[in-house]
Amino acid sequence: MFRKKRPPQRPLDFHEAPDVKDRIHDLLRIMDLPHIKKEHIFVVRSDHSRARIYARIWGLSRIFQEAAGLPALYAIEVVSKYYDLLSEEKKYQVLLHELMHIPTTFSGALLPHTKTFHTRYHTQWQIFMETFF
């Protein structure tokens, strides 16, 4: 009937994540994803997030691109309390999953989880595993 009161939440912190950016560059160097412009992808590590995920991707919507005169941009956020505990292989797997949400139009939009999405993701992951590990 009554909910348990949550303890006070520490403010969400974002930090640069050069190690994650390097992994993304590794993926883009090996994978056949020519539509992804690595200079338009930003990577941050978040602390104190309540989200129960390893990572998520954010796209700059078209209205903001037009209003601010910016190109399509994407930000990949890794949640440190979960992502940092993963093995190297799993970290690459999570990042590839997030990159696969970027459509070939590189428009700022994001692709949803569909059967086609998962098929493309698993195909790309097999290629990466054969090449990198």
Tens of pLDDT, residue by residue over 80-113, are: 999 999 999 999 999 999 999 999 999 999 999 9
pTM of this structure: 0.90
| pLDDT range class, residue 35, cuts 50, 70, 90 | very high
Tell me: pLDDT of 11 over 90: no
- Asked if residue 43 lies in contact with residue 15, where contact means CB atoms within 8 angstroms, the answer is no
| Domain boundary assignment for the chain | 13-132
Across the range 65-87, mean pLDDT stands at 97
SS3 42: strand
- Percent of the chain, pLDDT > 70? 99
Q: Which CATH architecture has domain 13-132?
A: 2-Layer Sandwich (3.30)
